[in-house]
Amino acid sequence: MLNASILTWLTLLPALGAVVVLLLPRRGRAPQIFSLLLTLFLFVLALHLPAHFNYHQQQGFQYELNVPWISNPAIHYHVGVDGLSMWLVVLVSFLAPLGVLISWRAIEDRKSEFYALLLLQQTAMYGVFIALDLLVYYAFWELSIVPLALLIGMYGRKNGRRAAIQFFLYAFIPSALMLVGMLWLYAQTGTFDLVRLQQQLHGWSTGAHATGLWFTSLAFLLAFAVKVPVFPLHGWLRDGIGEAPTAVAMILAGKLGLYSLLRWHVALFPTEAAHVAPLMVALGAIGILYGAMLALVQTDLKRLAAYATLSAVSFVVLGIYAFTTASMDGAAYQILNESISASAFFMLLGILYERYGTYDMAQLGGIAAKLPRLAVLFVITTLALIGLPALNNFVGEFLILSGSFQTHARITAVATLGVIFAAAYMLWMVQRVFYGAPSEHVMALARPDVNWRERAAIWPTIVLMVAMGVASMYWMHAIDLTVPNMAPNTAATHTGIYVWVASTR
Amino acid sequence: MTPSLHLWLLPLLPLAGFAVNGTLGRRLPKFAVSLVALLFPAAAFAQVLWIVAYVHSGLMLPHVERFATPWIAVSGFHANFSFLLDQLTLIMLLVVTGVGFVIHLYSVGYMATEDGYWRFFSYLNLFLFFMLTLVLAANFLLLFVGWEGVGLASYLLIGFYYQKDSAANAGKKAFIVNRIGDFGFLLVIFLLIAHFGTLSFSTVFESVAAHPELQGGFLTTICLLLVLGATGKSAQIPLYVWLPDAMEGPTPVSALIHAATMVTAGVYMVARTHVLFDRSPLALGVVAIIGAATAFFAATVGIVQTDIKRVLAYSTISQLGYMFLACGVAAYSMAIFHLVTHAFFKALLFLAAGSVIHALGGEQDMRAMGGLRKKLPITFWTMTAAVFAISGFFPFAGFFSKDAILAATFQSAHGGKLLWAVGLITAGLTSFYMFRLWYLTFFGEARTPAQPTHQTAHGSHGVHESPWVMLLPLVILGVLSVAGGWIGWPQALGGHDWIAHFLDPVFGSSALRAASLADMRLERILAGVSALTALIGWFVADLMYRRRPLLADKAERAAQPLYKLLWNKYWVDEIYADLIVWPLLVFSRNELGRGVDQGVIDGAGTAWTAGARGASSWIRRMQSGNIRSYAGWLAMGAAAVLVVVLYLAHLY
């Protein structure tokens, strides 16, 4: 019984919670406490998914629900998850309580609205990951843009409003184009259903609809690429992340767009995706190096994090469009890893900001001597982010790069230079903020080390960094079941010794 | 049925030590911290001895243990947690746990008064964990885990005094420079997957062995990239620059990581993958040339350094060059032999230097030392053993291993004589700078200020010999430095060449050694020549730093440009900074940052915004700050979408 309705409950409850938060008394800690309890409950609920997932079912979706909603046009409330989206639903559920915890004292003004919007955003993200009907998907996709823009605008730093408008325009206009594409698809096929679309579009790439399909796929690609963001469409990212409050920065970039690329671009338009793949691989590689090199010269921690994010999501883009089993599995895994490590990083930056009131590295320095526990958490997170083996990001990056290397050796070799840059900008950052003698600014402010609430927010991510670095199979099982099937041609991508021997003979 | 040796336990023992001290150490008393820190490495050492007993009683090698669940696996590729024990691993295990434990013991005394005592020992145990993973790994990916992991431990320990900018800088530099080498290593892994579909040592090596027609080609590419990785970790040209700076770490760290174990990882890797190198004469040639060049280059810099630890650092780079040279002429067992003896005497040199520094309250400049022979007798005698060993005096350990390398080089085919000559000159230089260090530190007048002028972490209560917990390790390593060469006493000099025979199953009985056996007379002559060279080095040092101390200043003034060149270490750091780091930063900041990002990308963004001016003013109105109006807008948006859809549906 729960199996059919669990996804709906997950999606519905945060939105209902958002209404409740607005009705709660505004004074005191009621909004926080309620949000925390609700998100924790949702997390426990979400754990039902991996626990009862059928790890042998290769095709189709699980926890599926498909009920006709509107008969004309034929919109179905069709939801379900596979090995990819299941973990993303769990990921969203995992990060939500952490976002509440880290905002606990950082947000005091218009608090109820903040938590309401955060919960609404959670609903939107669930919806994006579970929707299997194009129009349902689109509704959630649009819904995911609005709370984010409002959160940036209302709770941002100095230029929050400008960053919010920028983000909204960047995200909204391509989405409108995507809507046009969707309507064209519906006009041609009479369905919004993902599975039926996939069946019907088969062979269209060479038929009479080839041009229309091509433009539609481009509209989709553009909408997703902006949201990821893919270089050079990252114009909103620096200010977006720079201005966003911590809990928003944690969810701003990456997973929504990257997931959509896989589900609604690669898997829906395989032929068209294969055509743009060389471009996307190149943009991925450029993004890795470009983001890393710009991160190297930032003086503001949030901006450094923004460019580091660009570099990190570019790895995933590279992996998706290299179309090998390893690179795509790695890319899917890396969406989770990147999200977790980057969230930890943003939370730590938030903790730092709450104490010293600045993200400017020139003013910080020598904090390790003052706040040793914070320094330890920071260094561990840094190590995960630079891809130290036995921590999570390494597994994803390794699979992406080794997989991409099989089809794009030269580009991947160049992209691998990113691991050097990553070490350079992250360790330099750690040194400037934490090592050396304490700066004047730091000396002047006596601040406490991380407290229990902050530890409760950070430690789960650290535990996962280690677990996902050492025991990746737990997650990879379901991913490997699903993701490689999304590749345009399912020819064996791992050639191995046999092919090689044959070619030398 | 082969017994399980529980190889997995070996790295986990120090990891447990790290976990205990890392989490609880802050609250534990010092005694408990030391106990934990010593107990786990001791247990690991005991397990290694137990394994040795097993092997001695006839266990079949190589012995592989594999974890059932893979570490990383996707359809078509998987990498396991799998451990390999063969003769090479066994020797490495003995060195890592044996010398490692001894240095842990020493550290209890050396670090006794330091803040962050628990932090130090947890890092040190963490290092052992990764180093053991490195030498036990049965596939390239697990090797890479250890490889990067020891780099991490090195980073943490070099930067142990993180409040010192120089220490923080040195740690960061070590990690980043090593990452350049790791980049090469990663590409090797990708290439291996592309060509073999696996990263397991045995499968890759067997595949290569099964295809004798494979020569050069992509194997050369793989080997050259491996060399790039090895030059990073083992501090060879062009990536050696991090090691001298790494002396910012506490001295036991220099002994353990930057002399005895971690820096030999590159040599170990080349030896481990010798099956690949044997197929690529070009790559072997590159290894030999890098080795010889580094050995010579670093020795010349070592001549003029005045910081006792920096002399030893350059000496380490130089000695690692010898090991590379040995690998380059395919004398892998000689490389490992030198690795072992070097671990003994170089660890001893660092620990003895640490004892001196400890005694002088933190002083590292040899110009402020002198006359310590009487005051620090045990330190003096053990260090003397090490100095004679590294300089290659018969019958100290270094004599046999260095001589074996030089003899093998002399008899190798391409340019062997030239490389041998470089190696021989380097041996003379080595002897010279080591005896210079010896004389400056222990002989002549005491140049130490009566009262140390600056307060340091080591306190300031006059010159004194170190406590027994530091002296015992010196004595143990001293004995090994004197007698350790016994394991490789060559047949030409009436020995049995045990280590080479022991390693034969790994490296194969090389043609070179057969040749040297055929010509024992030649080997004896070569041994005589190198012994003579060592003597000359000693003689010159004796002349310049004991009998006629003014001679050193005179020589310095006479060869001013050369002296300046060496004193500034050939300006390599400056060249790297100006030609690579600075242009990279400027390019990123100006061209990419101001030009592309703020110019093109932001410009496009502004145009985008301006183009959507109508929309933007609409949004500004929407931003009323009233949540109900937002909800209203949302509902209206959804309704609008619905209307459009219905309308379109009506059309078709």
* Domain limits, chain A: 2-503
**How far apart are the C-alpha atoms of B23 and B21, rounded to whole Å?**
6
Who contacts A241 (Cβ-Cβ below 8 Å, separation ≥6)?
A249, A252, A253, A302, A303, A305, A306, A309
How does pLDDT run across A177-208, given as a tens digit for each residue? 899 999 999 988 888 999 999 988 888 888 78
Q: Which residue of A has its CA nearest to B115?
A: A369
Nearest by CB to residue B172, choosing from A179, A186, A428, is A428
**How far apart are the C-alpha atoms of B229 and B216, rounded to whole Å?**
19
User: In the structure encoding, which two tokens stand for residue A263, read together?
Assistant: 């589900």
Run of H or E including B490 = none
B99 three-class SS:
helix
**How far apart are the C-alpha atoms of A235 and A306, rounded to whole Å?**
11
Q: Which phi-psi region, left, alpha or beta, contains residue A190 (left: φ > 0; alpha: ψ -120 to 50)?
A: left
**How far apart are the C-alpha atoms of B305 and A91, rounded to whole Å?**
55
**How far apart are the C-alpha atoms of A487 and A324, rounded to whole Å?**
7
* A323–B contact, CB cutoff 8 A: no
Pairwise CB contact (< 8 Å): B162 & A235 = no
**How far apart are the C-alpha atoms of A101 and A97, rounded to whole Å?**
6
Who contacts B93 (Cβ-Cβ below 8 Å, separation ≥6)?
B10, B48, B51, B132, B135, B136
Nearest by CB to residue A419, choosing from B186, B605, B638, is B186
* B612–A contact, CB cutoff 8 A: yes
User: In the structure encoding, which two tokens stand for residue A111, read together?
Assistant: 């608090």
In DSSP notation, B216-282 reads: STHHHHHHHHHHHHHHHHTT-TTSTTHHHHGGGS-HHHHHIIIIISGGGHHHHHHHHTHHHHTT-HH
Q: Give the burial string for B559-575 (b: 16+ CB within 10 Å, else e).
A: eeeeeeebeebeeeeee
Cβ contact B309:B353 at 8 Å:
yes
Dihedral (Cα; A108, A113, A119, A123), 10-degree rounding: -160
**How far apart are the C-alpha atoms of A310 and A230, rounded to whole Å?**
8
Cβ contact B166:B364 at 8 Å:
no
User: In the structure encoding, which two tokens stand for residue B253, read together?
Assistant: 């760290």
Cβ contact A4:A67 at 8 Å:
no
Strand partners, A193: A133
Q: Which residue of B has its CA nearest to A375?
A: B162
Pairwise CB contact (< 8 Å): A416 & B73 = no
Vertex A367: Cα angle to A366 and A370 (nearest 5): 110
Give me the amino acid identity at B622.
Answer: M
How confident is the model at residue A497, as a pLDDT?
Answer: 35
Asked whether residue A433 carries a pLDDT value surpassing 50, the answer given is: yes
Cβ contact A210:A204 at 8 Å:
yes
Cβ contact A322:B194 at 8 Å:
no
> Is the four-CA dihedral A108, A110, A112, A113 of positive or negative sign?
negative
How does pLDDT run across A98-112, given as a tens digit for each residue? 999 999 988 888 889
**How far apart are the C-alpha atoms of A217 and A265, rounded to whole Å?**
7
**How far apart are the C-alpha atoms of B232 and B237, rounded to whole Å?**
8
Who contacts A111 (Cβ-Cβ below 8 Å, separation ≥6)?
A26, A31, A32
How confident is the model at residue A72, as a pLDDT?
Answer: 78
Pairwise CB contact (< 8 Å): A416 & B187 = yes
In DSSP notation, B503-562 reads: HHHHH---HHHHHHHHTHHHHHHHHHHHHHHHHHHHHHHHIIIII-THHHHHHHHHTHHH
Q: Please tell me whether the overall predicted TM-score, pTM, comes out greater than 0.90 for this model.
A: yes
* A177–B contact, CB cutoff 8 A: no
Q: Which residue of A has its CA nearest to B211?
A: A501
Distances (CA, A) of A258 to A251, A321, A331, B333: 12, 11, 9, 51
Who contacts B30 (Cβ-Cβ below 8 Å, separation ≥6)?
B112, B117
Distances (CA, A) of B233 to A495, B154, B315, B573: 31, 11, 16, 17
**How far apart are the C-alpha atoms of A11 and A137, rounded to whole Å?**
12
Who contacts B56 (Cβ-Cβ below 8 Å, separation ≥6)?
none
How confident is the model at residue A500, as a pLDDT?
Answer: 38
Radius of gyration in angstroms for the set of CA atoms belonging to chain B, rounded to a whole number? 29
- Window 69-128 of B: residues touching A by CB (8 A cutoff) are 69-77
Dihedral (Cα; A123, A124, A130, A136), 10-degree rounding: 120
Pairwise CB contact (< 8 Å): B630 & A146 = yes
Q: Cβ contacts (< 8 Å) between A412 and chain B: which residues?
A: 190
**How far apart are the C-alpha atoms of A256 and A339, rounded to whole Å?**
11
**How far apart are the C-alpha atoms of A254 and A251, rounded to whole Å?**
8
How does pLDDT run across A217-242, given as a tens digit for each residue? 999 999 999 999 998 999 899 999 99
* B610–A contact, CB cutoff 8 A: no
How confident is the model at residue A491, as a pLDDT?
Answer: 44
* B602–A contact, CB cutoff 8 A: yes
| A80 phi/psi in degrees, rounded to 5 | 170, 165
Instruction: Give the mean model confidence (pLDDT) for residues A151-169.
Output: 86
* A20–B contact, CB cutoff 8 A: no
What integer best gives the mean pLDDT of chain A?
91
Size of interface A-B (CB pairs under 8 A): 224
Query: Residue B650: how many CA atoms within 13 Å on its side-chain side?
Result: 6
Range with the poorest average pLDDT among A79-88, A496-505, B187-196, B205-214: A496-505
Longest dimension (CA), chain B: 108
Whether residue A73 is preceded by a cis peptide bond, meaning omega within 30 degrees of 0, is yes
Who contacts A216 (Cβ-Cβ below 8 Å, separation ≥6)?
A181, A182, A184, A185, A269
B84 three-class SS:
strand
Question: Which residue, B596, B617, B400, is CA-closest to B487?
Answer: B400
**Could you count the other beta carbons within 10 Å of the beta carbon of residue B598?**
12
* A184–B contact, CB cutoff 8 A: no
Run of H or E including A262 = none
How confident is the model at residue B442, as a pLDDT?
Answer: 92
Who contacts A263 (Cβ-Cβ below 8 Å, separation ≥6)?
A84, A85, A194, A486
Query: Residue B56: how many CA atoms within 13 Å on its side-chain side?
Result: 6
Who contacts B496 (Cβ-Cβ below 8 Å, separation ≥6)?
B489
Own/partner pairs, B20-28, CB within 8 angstroms, 24+ separation: B21/B118, B21/B121, B21/B122, B21/B125, B22/B122, B22/B126, B25/B117, B25/B118, B25/B119, B25/B121, B25/B122, B26/B118, B28/B118
Who contacts A155 (Cβ-Cβ below 8 Å, separation ≥6)?
A107, A109, A110, A114, A244, A245, A248
Strand partners, B79: B72
- Give chain B's residues under pLDDT 50: 1, 451-460, 651-652
Whether residue B250 is preceded by a cis peptide bond, meaning omega within 30 degrees of 0, is no
Q: Cβ contacts (< 8 Å) between B596 and chain A: which residues?
A: 290
